[in-house]
Structure 1
């Protein structure tokens, strides 16, 4: 049985968080990017074009950024990841984002994979599996794959977004603990027992939250792997 492939796929669904909608992330080909009707239907407010030709023009109501690169193994795509990650993350805070190249298979897929790797602190293979589960035709060229693996190594020791939030919360609690001055007017740390208990409880709670998230991520990854196995079996 031949599986029908879509011209666009939703990689990250829009969600409601704290009564605020976080935009979805779409991966598509050039025909979708040129279709004002489709962009309006999907409520896309930001378009990221990862393509050298043809030139893409869109509605003035849509925020548009172009990364002008060809789909070749020698092309350095990794140098653009900070810019593309920032574009996607910033505009997902208020609208849906579409990333496209010519076919929505290699260049744009690499950009989306890099974004997910950075945002969730995931490895390359796990992220690739996740994206393929949503868009089976995704296949970055071999040069882009090597760069994404290098990008994984760079990100390995960086805290994830969730870890950043936990650290910020802990730092906020610490900042509320009073300081006292000694006779030389130097500040020193003198927390009370209550302050320490409060800090310990907050750290424990956040560690538990992080552990629950890790379990959920693992369960989700297992589902994705199983789903990928179904896709692979369909082509065999």
Structure 2
């Protein structure tokens, strides 16, 4: 008997389903430190199965109904996912709060777990684990491959790294230059 080849529509549906599961997930960045989207952070099973004791809510939404769990604390970070938003002013307070929660486990989330929350975790990794920004980004990216802090947050992280270590491990590249180079290479 011969099996029918899957239709392209069913393959696309399967890929979409897998991507949705990945987005709607929790990523362990380091022991005791997790990164997720908003929907995952609201699920009691996510919090209890990982013994989360501190939630850092970087979604910009303060009126969230988190599960009522004993000992669960929530820190609200009122920042929108906009390049001009002042996320840097929260790097030290959030990093210090995560560091104070060493006996517990911390979940940092924003809306999708792609921009604000990864940026805050990278700041923590630089400040308390001594990683360069490049190393911090690689560590978070390895656990959550679709992170993409906006350009403004990258600038703030670069500035923070320079403040911490008096040097930078990454630099901003203008997108138009990058695109022009890619076009030239493709034409060759």
Is the pair's TM-score, using the shorter chain for normalization, greater than 0.5?
A: yes
Greater Rg, structure 1 or structure 2?
1
Is 1:9 matched up with 2:27?
yes
Q: For 1:41 and 1:126, how far apart are their aligned partners in 2?
A: 28
Q: For 2:77 and 2:111, how far apart are their aligned partners in 1?
A: 12
Q: For 1:137 and 1:157, how far apart are their aligned partners in 2?
A: 29
Count, aligned residues: 147
Q: Which runs of 5+ in 2 are unaligned?
A: 1-10, 168-188
> Which 4+ stretches in 1 moved above 3 angstroms?
1-4
- Pick aligned residue for 2:131 from 122, 127, 137: 122
- Pick aligned residue for 2:35 from 27, 32, 46: 27
Q: Which runs of 5+ in 1 are unaligned?
A: 14-23, 159-236
1:40 corresponding residue in structure 2: 48
- Pick aligned residue for 2:144 from 132, 135, 142: 135
1:56 corresponding residue in structure 2: 64
CA deviation string 1:6-32 (max 9, x = no partner): 52100002xxxxxxxxxx100000011
- Pick aligned residue for 1:86 from 81, 96, 113: 96
TM-score (norm 1): 0.59
Quote the offset at 1:85 in angstroms. 0.6
Q: For 2:166 and 2:148, how far apart are their aligned partners in 1?
A: 27
Quote the offset at 1:120 in angstroms. 2.2
Quote the offset at 1:49 in angstroms. 0.3
Q: For 2:36 and 2:58, how far apart are their aligned partners in 1?
A: 11
Q: Does the CA-based 8 Å contact 2:55-2:108 persist in structure 1?
A: yes
Q: Does the CA-based 8 Å contact 2:62-2:76 persist in structure 1?
A: no
Quote the offset at 1:82 in angstroms. 1.1
Q: Does the CA-based 8 Å contact 1:25-1:98 persist in structure 2?
A: yes
TM-score (norm 2): 0.73
Q: Does the CA-based 8 Å contact 2:91-2:120 persist in structure 1?
A: yes
1:152 corresponding residue in structure 2: 161
Q: Does the CA-based 8 Å contact 1:43-1:95 persist in structure 2?
A: yes
Is 1:67 matched up with 2:67?
no
Quote the offset at 1:60 in angstroms. 5.1
CA deviation string 1:141-193 (max 9, x = no partner): 000001000111000059xxxxxxxxxxxxxxxxxxxxxxxxxxxxxxxxxxx
